[in-house]
Amino acid sequence: MIEISENSLTLRIGNFELAHSEDFPIFAVGRGENTYEMSHGNFNISKYYNEKIPLRKFKVLSKNENQCEILFFSPSGEELKSKFSLIADKLTIEILSASKNLNRFWIYIPTYESEEIYGCGEQYSYLNLRGKRVPLWVSEQGVGRNKRDIITHFANFKDDAGGDWHTTYFPQPTFVSSRNYYSIVHSYAYSEFDFSHRNFHELEIHEIPQKIEFGTGNSLIDTVVKLTKSIGLPNPLPDWVYDGVILGLQGGRDVVVPKIMRALEKGLKITGLWIQDWEGKRITTFGKQLMWNWVYDENMYPNLPEMIDQLRDMGIRTLGYINTFLALEGSLYQEASKKGYLVRKPNGEEYHVVVTTFPAALVDFTNPEAREWIKKVIKSNMIGIGLSGWMADFGEYLPTDAVLYDGTPAELYHNRYPVDWAKINAEAVEEAGKMGEVVFFMRAGNLHSARYSTLFWHGDQLVNWSKDDGLPSVIVAALSMTMSGIGLTHSDIGGYTTLAKNVPDIVVTKRTKELFMRWAEQSTFTPVMRTHEGNWPDENWQFDSDEETLKHFARMSMVHYALKPYIKQLVEKYAYEGKPIIMPLNLRYRIENTEELKYQYLFGEDLLVAPVIESGQDTKKVFIPDDEWVHLWSGKRYTGGTYEIEAPIGYPPVFYLADSEWKDVFEKAGDMK
Amino acid sequence: MIEISENSLTLRIGNFELAHSEDFPIFAVGRGENTYEMSHGNFNISKYYNEKIPLRKFKVLSKNENQCEILFFSPSGEELKSKFSLIADKLTIEILSASKNLNRFWIYIPTYESEEIYGCGEQYSYLNLRGKRVPLWVSEQGVGRNKRDIITHFANFKDDAGGDWHTTYFPQPTFVSSRNYYSIVHSYAYSEFDFSHRNFHELEIHEIPQKIEFGTGNSLIDTVVKLTKSIGLPNPLPDWVYDGVILGLQGGRDVVVPKIMRALEKGLKITGLWIQDWEGKRITTFGKQLMWNWVYDENMYPNLPEMIDQLRDMGIRTLGYINTFLALEGSLYQEASKKGYLVRKPNGEEYHVVVTTFPAALVDFTNPEAREWIKKVIKSNMIGIGLSGWMADFGEYLPTDAVLYDGTPAELYHNRYPVDWAKINAEAVEEAGKMGEVVFFMRAGNLHSARYSTLFWHGDQLVNWSKDDGLPSVIVAALSMTMSGIGLTHSDIGGYTTLAKNVPDIVVTKRTKELFMRWAEQSTFTPVMRTHEGNWPDENWQFDSDEETLKHFARMSMVHYALKPYIKQLVEKYAYEGKPIIMPLNLRYRIENTEELKYQYLFGEDLLVAPVIESGQDTKKVFIPDDEWVHLWSGKRYTGGTYEIEAPIGYPPVFYLADSEWKDVFEKAGDMK
């Protein structure tokens, strides 16, 4: 509904409203300049504002029932021509033109005391963002991510790499409100969404965006479904992905094959072997790192295509690794450099970025020839040798002072770089005719990544129990991704970042046996189970470090496999209908405090999961919502209330709906020995 | 000179210029709101701006050769009526009126690449502030003051008390430019002076200020002298202050008197005994702390007035301690509470602030009766019993949500609170007829503190060698105070903040013998030498911890005493003519990089001091400016260049001008055995 009077303007869909008056204008505009300092993919951003001018006046240029064009302006001459379209449950604002030289934009949304806000892409520390000012910038997530944490302090001291509660690989200019509306800002510019005010939200965009979209739903879950569809739906996962775990191993054929054999013997259900070092490796002060020249390494994996075939015959797919860089020592770099496919500095030289310890060149995705070239590399060197998937790593490192082929300012392209990286990977798979058979997984992302990438993983967690960067953080990450319309997520079982060598004793962080087992239990109740050895494999507890772990992990792989029919239909309902997979409880139940319950989740509507995320626990307090729930392992029934649940290793608190149509599947999973 | 054309406006004095055009307006205005979180006198301040509107248009209301009234405005209706007066070397801008509801103000000053900026009150980390955005807010200086420092991290973890490079007890909205002009903003509101831009400085004030002043000088030193006079000159120090060291002791009569006797025996030249615990003490987790009820403690100091008289007969003055708080256990609190002299909360209750470990009430200086009352306390309980001085501590803790007697918003009074604290102390001394005999010293301050307080000390340094918070930082503090027009400063010899108990091993920081001796050497070449035992006296090295230290300290006290005639005339030239005392080299010499040389200084024009500020040094690289300089200890002559100078303990690199009229004084000091 559009209401216009002489001095005010109201736009309403459902119970969402935008209201304009002289005292409370919808828009402000201005000019500003940011300074970006990058250290290993971590950014220190200083903002300066020349001016911030509310557009208090407006003039209706045209109007019918569901659409109007309105000129907002200030007496000093700043103008914004906008078009509002209301179609059913959706309000779209298009900015048709703006005065020259404006590069800052603010939109104001009225709010109410009790409103909660979720989303903004992948958030690790907070699910409810009300009270926060959320920067949206693609970057490393940081190590520790808590200014009071000694590890964060140490990481900052070394490389400004400690991060903060909001640093993320995958920000997204969207959010969902507990008042059953969603918002999408169509812009890749640096932005800050400010939910810290009592009476209004302020979305600040560092350009004049083209389009902003609001939609309402009948319920919170309906709102999320609508956002999810609007963001873009991917294909379902390949069927083989559900058939067990994807085992992350490395070290060459002679190391990985015997490990697989032993694991199979012990009953581990393996569906994939992920060898990130398929292209060779190097040793650095950060650990064992990869070669970054996307050609398989004949020394480590002699006749790799044959090995891939043999494994496939055993029901095991092989996955590799690629990222946005090219190692300066490699043949691909030579070729790309000669052809001019690399990101440049203002002085015309190639931009070589130090990622961890060595410099590498970045492929320029704004160059159509470079995109075709890297797609060809994927198609021939990866899909061509039989790989069924890969980690498509990185996407956060485009420097803001880079010079790009198509002339786009790097500051405005930075947040889009990982989206194009996803698109390139997707196109390569599509062109090879392998969509639905190949799975690649990414950590970096932004608006529309969801429609391109086949799967996401939560990035490089610390191998510990910390809320901001350890096991608990992957649960919040999954939930915030869901609330951002992205359904297919998983994590490195056991975490990745190990602080073991060249660090002071006080920050040494190595994966423990207990952490590995608890992390595996949580991953069992996500779409995909995959391990990672971490950056210092020898210092971390691994799936086969002792018999007990291997036995526990084998059983978990069987539980996950037993759930295949249930998980597969969840993924299909997400891919076809936009239905969320890993859900906060408030998508189904009336919950008082979402934030307090954020470490429990629904895995589909029929499973309630409350992973053990602290060390030394053998019971856990669990909130059971209304409905009758059956404890997966004991068959004991619970309903509405908080219970202390037995949770020894191997038996995390998981419940299924008593009247679920998947009861047989759950019983089978629960009976797994 | 005032030049006005249709679209532009230029105001020029000397080589300072303000220029207005539509594209580069002088002023912007706006509205905003800050959120302040205080933890133990440390503040976390979040800023929000509703709008920032450049005032591009202007209208001349009246004009003659040296004065004009101009209305600056924006087409949207924001107005600022201002009066510009040019008198000789001074440009004054008065803001006569402004549109209602404006509470943010910006003024723009053109700048040039090579310009350096000094001042902004007491700055510990940087002397040249070009490239920095400097917040001006009275607060604790912080512990560590460097985000990369483990001590800062630890202090933040405990109490948000770590600070940063800009946190200071004594900010001041003034600066001096290497282009020979100074600026004074007459406002106590939260401000940020932004010197980080290439073409302009931006001074941001969180209110509409009444007056801004610019002045030019013929040279940098002439500019500093003019600022100094404009800020306000104090009385010279009492003559007795120069007669040796002021010894900070505590523990009661039976502890301090024997210590004095032993020190005198060993040749220590003592002019004052500073007993901060004259009013009793308490033990807390932070160390031995004081009672904060400003009445002498009969138990610790039985018949204190008699002891004071006896010491005076020996040539030793006694000094005490007071601060802005009243302990809740004390008789003075009872009285002040009954009379309603205390700062209140919004709900009407008294505001009890936790300073370190216990809560205390704050005296409301906006209440004239409360001011008279606390002055009476000083006059009768302190001056009345014979005290010749005291530390007038604190002044940073006024909470921004406090409710004050006269209705001033606490947010706007916060930065002025220490200035009124200085004024109260000064009036008490004046009214007791003791000005010129009594010395009180403060750490907190702001604009006009200089004219009230008799002396400043640099606050609570860490007992270590760190640049941001240890021995080196007091040199930069003294220099930045000089560049802010404040001449009388000194520090706690050996520093104050000791991290000894209830802290992890990694941050334990105790005063070493070497640090004490080097700090004493530096203090010898400042107006006042005073020791402090620190917050954990038993864990710190003290002046009498061994024979060698006592001997070294006695000799330093004699060197300082030998310099009395020179120091006294320096202080008088400051107090009567505004001449700086502790100077950066560029006040006298052409220096390429002020910042690199900031740990050397001129003590008056005739002494060059390059204190040893690192551990384990016995030589030091010293820059000797042009002119002929004589090494104080060896008589060796140096001129223009950088030299490696012998600097064993007891003989820091100090030089005097070969042709100084004070040659005899320096020779005597240099010969001191």
Q: Which of A29, A44, A153 to probe by mutation at the B interface, max B CB count within 10 Å?
A: A153
Burial of B427 (0-12, 13-18, 19+ CB in 10 A): middle
Among B49, B54, B153, whose Cβ lies nearest the Cβ of A153?
Answer: B153
Using CA atoms, how far apart are residues B454 and B234, in angstroms rounded to an integer? 6
How far is B666 from chain A, CA to nearest CA, in Å? 45
B168 beta partners: B138
Contact (CB<8Å) A54/B51: yes
Looking up tokens 């302190």 gives: B382
Residue from A76, A147, A508 to probe the interface with B (highest B Cβ count within 10 Å): A76
- Quickly list DSSP for A572-609: HHHHHH---SEE-GGGTS--S-TTTTTT-EEETTTEEE
Say if the Cβ atoms of A54 and B52 lie within 8 Å: no
The catalytic residue among A164, A213, A279, A396 is A396
- The token pair at A53 is 């001018």
Q: What is the pLDDT of residue B418?
A: 98
How far apart (Å, rounded) are the C-alpha atoms in residues A110 and B490? 54
B572 pLDDT band, cuts 50/70/90, is: very high
On whether the CB atoms of residues B624 and B650 are closer than 8 A, the answer is: no
The tens digit of pLDDT for each residue in A384-431 reads 999 999 999 999 999 999 999 999 999 999 999 999 999 999 999 999
Report in angstroms the alpha-carbon separations of A446 from A173, A205, B175, B663.
8, 15, 45, 73
Which of B646, B622, B625 minimizes the C-alpha distance to B635?
A: B646
Give the neighbor-by-neighbor strand order of the sheet with A601-603: A582-583, A601-603, A607-609, A654-657, A619-631, A637-646
Cβ count within 10 A of residue B162: 24
Tens-digit pLDDT profile for residues B609-620: 999 999 999 999
A276 Cα to chain B: minimum distance (Å): 34
> pLDDT, tens digit, for every residue of B395-435?
999 999 999 999 999 999 999 999 999 999 999 999 999 99
Closest chain A residue to B161 measured between Cα atoms? A148
Of A51, A148, A506, the CB nearest to B53: A51
What does DSSP assign to residue A378? I
Residue with the two structure tokens 């159509």: A368
Segment A97-108 mean pLDDT:
96
d(CA A388, CA A318): 6
Chain B residue numbers with beta carbons less than 8 Å from the beta carbon of A49 are 49, 52
- Alpha-carbon span A519 to A274, nearest angstrom: 18
* Residues of chain A neighbouring B22 (CB-CB closer than 8 A): none
CATH 3.20.20.80 fits A239-323+366-399+408-460+490-578, yes or no: yes
Write down the pLDDT at residue A206.
98
Mean pLDDT within B18-36: 97
pLDDT, position A67 = 95
pLDDT at A647: 98
Beta-bridge partner residues of B138: B168
Measured in residues, chain A has a length of: 673
ipTM value for the complex: 0.85
Q: Environment class of residue A261 by beta-carbon count within 10 Å: exposed (0-12), middle (13-18) or buried (19+)?
A: exposed
What mean pLDDT comes out for the span A155-167?
Answer: 91
Shortest CA gap B11–chain A (Å): 23
The pLDDT score that the predictor gives to residue A620 is 98
Q: What number of CA atoms fall less than 13 Å from residue A564's CA on the CB side?
A: 15
Please give the Cα distance from B141 to B168 (Å, whole number).
Answer: 4
Domains A239-323+366-399+408-460+490-578 and A585-670 share a fold: no
Distance from CA of A74 to the nearest CA of B (A): 6
Work out the number of other CB atoms within 10 angstroms of the CB of residue B387.
26
pLDDT, mean of residues B484-493: 98
Of A52, A74, A506, Cβ closest to residue B76: A74
User: CB–CB of B150 and A153 under 8 A?
Assistant: yes
Structural domain boundaries of chain B? 2-231, 585-670
Q: Do B52 and A75 touch (CB under 8 A)?
A: no
Contact A52 B56 (CB under 8 A): no
Structure tokens at A335: 């070729």
Partners of B41 in the β-ladder: none
DSSP H or E stretch at residue B317:
strand B317-323
Q: Which of B33, B52, B154 to mutate to test the interface with A (most CBs of A within 10 A)?
A: B52
Residues of B that are catalytic? 393, 396, 460
Contact (CB, 8 A) for B182 and B188: no
pLDDT above 90 coverage of chain B, percent: 92
The answer to whether residue B663 scores a pLDDT higher than 90 is yes
- If DSSP states are collapsed to H, E and C, what string results for B440-476? EEECCCCCCHHHHCCEEECCCCECCCCCCCCHHHHHH
Q: In this predicted model, what pLDDT tens digit does every residue of B300-314 receive, in sequence order?
A: 999 999 999 999 999
The answer to whether A156 contacts B150, with C-beta atoms less than 8 Å apart, is: no
Chain centroid to CA A368: 26
What does the DSSP assignment read for A67-94?
EEEEEEE-TTS-EEEEEEEEETTEEEEE
Closest residue of B to A146, CA-based? B157
B interface with A, Cβ–Cβ below 8 Å: 28, 30, 46, 48-54, 56, 74-77, 147-148, 150, 153, 156-157, 194, 196-197, 506
Write the DSSP assignment of A351-372 as a string of letters: -EEESSSSEEEEB-TTSHHHHH
Sign for the pseudo-dihedral over CA of B542, B546, B552, B555: positive
| Alpha-carbon distance B148 to nearest alpha carbon in chain A (angstroms) | 5
Nearest to A52 among B52, B148, B197 (CB): B52
CB-facing half-sphere around the CA of A481: CA atoms within 13 A: 33
**In Å, how far from its chain's centre is CA B419?**
12
pLDDT tens readout for residues A259-317: 999 999 999 999 999 999 999 987 777 777 888 999 999 999 999 999 999 999 999 99
Chain A interface, Cβ < 8 Å to B: 28, 30, 46, 48-54, 56, 74-77, 147-148, 150, 153, 156-157, 194, 196-197, 506
Residues 6+ apart with CB under 8 A from B566: B604, B606, B607, B662, B665, B666
A626 is catalytic: no
Chain B residues touching A51 at Cβ < 8 A: 28, 52-54
Nearest CA in chain B to A33: B197
Amino acid at A152: T
Closest in B52, B56, B196 to A49, CB measured: B52
Please say if the pLDDT value at position A91 is more than 80. Answer: yes
CB contacts, 8 Å: B74 with chain A: 75-76
Question: Residue A502 — pLDDT band, cuts 50, 70, 90?
Answer: confident
HSE value, Cβ hemisphere, 13 Å, CA-based, for B582: 28
Q: How many CA atoms lie within 13 A of B465 on its CB side?
A: 13
Q: What residue spans of B542-647 are helical by DSSP H?
A: 547-562, 564-577
Q: Is the pLDDT of residue B286 over 80?
A: no
Please tell me the predicted confidence (pLDDT) of residue B176.
Answer: 98
Measuring CA to CA, how many Å separate A43 from each of B24, B149, B382? 31, 20, 55
C-alpha distance from B512 to closest chain A C-alpha (Å):
25
Closest CB from A52, A148, A197 relative to B49: A52
Burial A270-282 (b: 16+ CB within 10 A, else e): bbbbbbbbbbbbe
Could you tell me the fold of the domain covering B585-670?
Immunoglobulin-like (2.60.40)
CA distance to A58, A304, A602, per residue, from A435 (Å):
49, 22, 29
- What pLDDT digit, counting tens, does each position of A638-659 carry? 999 999 999 999 999 999 999 9
Show the tokens assigned to A448.
Answer: 């529309």
Q: For residue A109, name the pLDDT band (cuts at 50, 70, 90).
A: very high
- Residue-wise burial string across B472-509, b where 16 or more C-beta atoms lie within 10 A, e elsewhere: bbbbbbbbbbbbbbbbbbbbbbbbbbbbbeeeeeebeb
In which residue are the tokens 């002929």 written? Answer: B628
Q: How many CB pairs under 8 A join A and B?
A: 52
Q: What pLDDT, on the 0 to 100 scale, is given for residue A262? A: 96
Least confident of A458-462, A557-561, B135-139, B354-358: B354-358
Instruction: List Cβ neighbours of B191 (8 Å cut-off, separation of 6 or more).
Output: B135, B136, B173, B185, B203, B204, B205, B206
Mean pLDDT of B187-191: 98
Separation between Cα atoms, residue B418 and residue B41, nearest integer Å:
13
For residue A195, give how far its alpha carbon lies from the nearest alpha carbon of chain B (Å).
12
Q: Do A30 and B49 touch (CB under 8 A)?
A: no
Instruction: In whole angstroms, give the CA distance from residue A55 to residue A78.
Output: 8
Contacts of B197 in chain A (CB under 8 A): 48
CB A375 within 8 A of CB A328: no
Residues in chain B closer than 8 A to A30 (CB atoms): 52
Which chain B residues have a beta carbon less than 8 Å from that of A76?
A: 53, 56, 74-76
Helices (H), B209-284: 220-231, 253-265
Task: Report chain A residues whose CB lies below 8 A from the CB of B194.
Answer: 48
Distance to chain B for A641, nearest Cα, Å: 36
How far apart are the C-alpha atoms of B400 and B414, rounded to whole Å?
7
Spatial distance between the Cα atoms of B143 and B460, rounded to a whole number of angstroms: 8
CB-CB under 8 Å, A75 with B53: no
Classify domain B2-231 at the CATH topology level. Beta-galactosidase; Chain A, domain 5 (2.70.98)
A76, B77: Cβ pair inside 8 Å? Answer: no
Q: How far apart are CA A579 and CA A605, in angstroms?
A: 10
Name the residue among A30, A76, A506 with its Cβ closest to that of B75.
Answer: A76
> Mean pLDDT in chain A?
96
